[in-house]
Structure 1
């Protein structure tokens, strides 16, 4: 944790990684990671988002939950998350790739349960829920081939990890589980959300028409921002800064 304020305290759900500020920060920003992703990558942005209380979503099978069996279907994942975690308000959800679908379905599930949900949703690098997500299935590939896909498409694993067979055996199941969630996801038609929905993507990644289709999933305002780069456009410092400005604007609007 890089942005720790004096007196900050942890909150109970194993799904939520972060710290609650005692001074009552008025807006919370929840990050839903990509396939195989760690919430830590996003939580490290907290120091650059000082006006928001930053939280990461940590699914079973990773981090401090490494001993738990990973979940392999979106309905059970969202059901467990909504049952376990209490989301503060006002809140903004940000989801990247698989995390975009997870954030969207979590917002729908909270609404269906009559629970407080996000004041705005930011989705990144993911086609709209009812659009084909393309690419051949990878979830059943042997570990060696799946690892090659991870290295080619998703920024790869650190060399020290790929050289450690015992560590690979620990982490490959949750990559495989996340790919299974993503590849088997099926959108169930329902009422659009009623909150602002902001879409972001790299110009070398998802076709713009698949991103712009997200506008139909809210009755409120929507926006589309295309930045230079691929699937992880935000790992470029300039595009990272632009994404942070967008998140700051969205959390500022949620605060008002």
Structure 2
């Protein structure tokens, strides 16, 4: 199990002396995504939250580390990096693959008496919903890359340069393996507010799938459709949605 005292970088926090009473928003990226995917959201919320953009091994600023395709191994890494941010008021936010990690991290910290003020899951059907799209991680390399390209969200230039394809294909395949083979970990459902949202044109979710989250939250579960497709992280409507979630949190004083 992860060591809860292990420190992790707070890559998204603003100056502590100006934001002691702000909640921390811990952001977990989609398959193939890096922490910088949330840079627009971070810039949109300077007075609403301190942001912690959590990076996965083998991604973004941690590209030199080995990429992992095992949910449990990546989850332990995320628990270590999130630990320093769970002593005050915080919210977990995960997009697509990151939504599964945010949900499980919320359950983990709740079981240890450090529950989040809420969890926001974006662009992912519930853990026990039927899958809409066929699995991609088992496809041959050409079919896999073409399927990823059609989903959007990946820079087009990646598919035009063999050296980039060679660099990023293992990362994408590992992440899709994690995302497509994930099943809920043992234990009770999430016992804190759960906010569920997705773009109305997202091909990876449907109404029944989003409502599956209602079976995995013991507290309030709110579901909302937003403008856009699967990749809505930079959409002003999404930024406004997250700001609205943060406004519902109870105010807290400075913690020491």
Q: Is 1:44 equivalent to 2:40 in the alignment? A: yes
1:18 is paired with a residue whose SS is coil
In 2, the alpha carbon distance for the partners of 1:119 and 1:56 equals 17
Determine the structure 2 residue equivalent to 1:17: 11
**Pairs within 5 Å for 1:1-256:** 13=8, 17-23=11-17, 24-50=20-46, 51-86=48-83, 87-88=85-86, 89-112=88-111, 114=112, 116-159=114-157, 161-205=158-202, 206-235=205-234, 240-256=235-251
1:64 is paired with a residue whose SS is helix
Query: Shift of the alpha carbon at 1:192?
Result: 1.8
Give the TM-score taking structure 1 as reference length.
0.84
Q: Which sits farther off after the overlay, 213-222 or 118-127? A: 213-222
Query: In the alignment, is the contact (CA less than 8 A) between 1:195 and 1:220 conserved in 2?
Result: yes
RMSD of aligned residue pairs (Cα, Å): 2.2
In 2, the alpha carbon distance for the partners of 1:129 and 1:174 equals 23
Aligned residues: 239
Cα distance per residue 1:23-65 (max 9 Å; x no partner): 2252111111111112202123222112211121210111121
After TM superposition, which residue ranges in structure 1, 4 or more long, deviate above 3 angstroms? none
Cα distance per residue 1:180-208 (max 9 Å; x no partner): 00111112353122211111012233111
Query: Shift of the alpha carbon at 1:154?
Result: 2.9
In 2, the alpha carbon distance for the partners of 1:55 and 1:43 equals 10
Gaps of 5+ in 2: 1-6, 252-256
In 2, the alpha carbon distance for the partners of 1:80 and 1:167 equals 26
Higher relative contact order (CA 8 A, sep 6+): 2
Determine the structure 1 residue equivalent to 2:4: none
Query: Shift of the alpha carbon at 1:234?
Result: 4.7
Query: Shift of the alpha carbon at 1:103?
Result: 0.5
Gaps of 5+ in 1: 1-11
